[in-house]
Amino acid sequence: MKLPYAEPFKIKMVEPIKKSTKEQRSQWIKEADYNLFNLSSDKVFIDLLTDSGTGAMSQFQWSEMMLGDESYAGSSSFLKLKETVQRITGFEYFLPTHQGRAAENVLFSALIKEGDIVPGNSHFDTTKGHIEYRKAKAIDCTIKEAFDTAIQHPFKGNIDVDALEKVFKKYPNEKIPMVIVTITCNTAGGQPVSMENIKAVSSLCKQYKIPLYFDAARFAENAYFIKTREDGYQNKTIKQIVKEFFSYGEGMTISAKKDGLVNMGGFIALNNEEVFKKATVFNIMYEGFITYGGLNGRDMGALAVGLDEATEVDYLESRVGQVAFLGSKLVEYGIPVQQPFGGHAIFVDATKFLPNIPREQYTAQTLAIELYIEGGIRGVEIGTILADRDPETRENRYPALESVRLAIPRRTYTNNHMEYIAAVLKNVFDKKSEITTGYKIVEEAPIMRHFTVKLEKI
Ligand SMILES: *Cc1c(COP(=O)(O)O)cnc(C)c1O
């Protein structure tokens, strides 16, 4: 018999979590204006809001915290992290930042200006926010298979190379400061990008002399999918695969709160010295001196260890395996989810789950609220609320998919928690015909409204 995966770690410390009743949760979510971001964490039983900064560190990371060098300039923790980033990514230049969006802010300040065009594969919300804030435009060139949750495709995060070339032909070269490839593609369901696709995008970018950058929050999970799904990579190590895909780009931004296995952190890594020098100025202005960039020395040390741990195959097998364990349970219950399963989360297709709720009443948000009331699970809407209004027309934007994302924190929950989550979804699915009204927005911010939006039940 083939042995199943098992976590390559055991548990040394536990953190209690609190149960509550449906009545309590109905009241709490109302008081929170039906926005799950407004709930205090003690009102949540299983928190799947995000996999960002919510994972567990290892004993080696914790011991590195004690070795943190808090010198303002040139700390040993910085040097340790710099060496690790160079070794793992292959990029020569490195700037720490306090998280992923800060890396975007610094790099985009150096490279993106008003009127620019930034093509990519379903840009992440903060990425898009930082592009649009500069009055530039993000163009989504993801393959169309990504937007049909029922289609099986091993690399739904891929870029449609023809669509990308059309963008290159349509706009003058100097208007396209970069292409951003997000690995894995969070917005499309944690879906990976193949090495073949990265290579094709890279050579097209070279042909048109447009730099290729990675938004690399889940680069290690992406490498695991390449290893297990793409011909020719089965016998390569994760670290070899990572090194190869980064070699096709000019640089990267990363939120280290994901595959960095830390609770806070980010960085920029680059090959181009000129861009590095420009970005350095903004890093000092926005983040801090270039050898800490908003991070404590101890945080940089823990991140250095985390990058090494995240790029080990046994860890990734249990990580991606646990997400697939939940996904398979849901499929068994007949629940519509994005397939194949993503690396960090299961995306529930809310349009198919709740056909009675029109998109104007925020289908995915309605489902997220129902899951919370039923079992104390906090997922997140990846749909119309997140998509914001069009910056010009101020109309709601309706994205191709209306989903609830159940993001699984790294090394945090057991498969019993996964069974519980699946049961909660099944209970709501069984009574879906009784759910007939959604929500309306009563207050919203002009950009990235999902964090603070206030809703009322219709
Ligand atoms: C999380 C994330 C970011 C932003 O990073 P923060 O650390 O949350 O600021 C950017 N891109 C992707 C793909 C992400 O998942």
Return the pLDDT at 331.
97
Pairing of strands 137-140, 117-120: parallel
> What confidence score (pLDDT) does residue 55 get?
97
In the chain, ranges of CATH 3.90.1150.10 domains: 22-51+313-457
Count other Cβ atoms within 10 Å, centred on residue 133.
14
CB 184 within 8 A of CB 344: yes
Q: Please give the positions annotated as active site.
A: 72, 124-125, 215, 217, 258, 450
Does 59-310 carry CATH code 3.40.640.10? yes
Which residue's alpha carbon is nearest to atom 1 within ligand 1?
255
Domain(s) labelled CATH 3.40.640.10 in the chain stretch across 59-310
For residue 194, what pLDDT is reported? 98
Beta bridge partners of 252: 214, 269
Compute the distance from residue 120 Cα to the ligand 1 centre, in Å.
15
* pLDDT less than 70: residues of the chain: none
Q: What is the pLDDT of residue 24?
A: 98
What's residue 367's pLDDT? 98
pLDDT at 150: 82
pLDDT more than 90, % of the chain: 93
Q: Give the per-residue pLDDT at 187.
A: 73
Pocket test for ligand 1, best of 124, 130, 181, 191 (most atoms within 8 A of CB): 124
3-state SS track over the chain = CCCCCCCCCCCCCCCCCCCCCHHHHHHHHHHCCCCHHHCCHHHCCEECCCCCCCCCCCHHHHHHHHCCCCCCCCCHHHHHHHHHHHHHHCCCEEEEECCHHHHHHHHHHHHCCCCCEEEECCCCHHHHHHHHHCCCEEEECECHHHHCCCCCCCCCCCECHHHHHHHHHHCCHHHCCCEEEECCECCCCCECCCHHHHHHHHHHHHHCCCCEEEECCCHHHHHHHHHHHCCCCCCCCHHHHHHHHHHCCCEEEEECCCCCCCCCCEEEEECCHHHHHHHHHHHHHHCCCCCCCCCCHHHHHHHHHHHHHHCCHHHHHHHHHHHHHHHHHHHHCCCCECCCCCCCEEEEEHHHHCCCCCHHHCHHHHHHHHHHHHHCEECEEECHHHHCECCCCCCECCCCCCEEEEECCCCCCCHHHHHHHHHHHHHHHHCHHHCCCCEEEEECCCCCHHHCCEEEEC
Q: Is 54 in the pocket of ligand 1 (CB under 6 A)?
A: no
In which residue are the tokens 């730099």 written? 211
pLDDT of residue 391: 82
Domain 22-51+313-457: CATH architecture, name and number where available: Alpha-Beta Complex (3.90)
Q: If you take atom 7 of ligand 1, which residue's CA is the nearest one?
A: 100
Answer yes or no: is the C-beta of 98 below 6 A from any ligand 1 atom: no
**Dist. CA 100–CA 395, nearest whole Å:** 28
| Global pTM value | 0.94
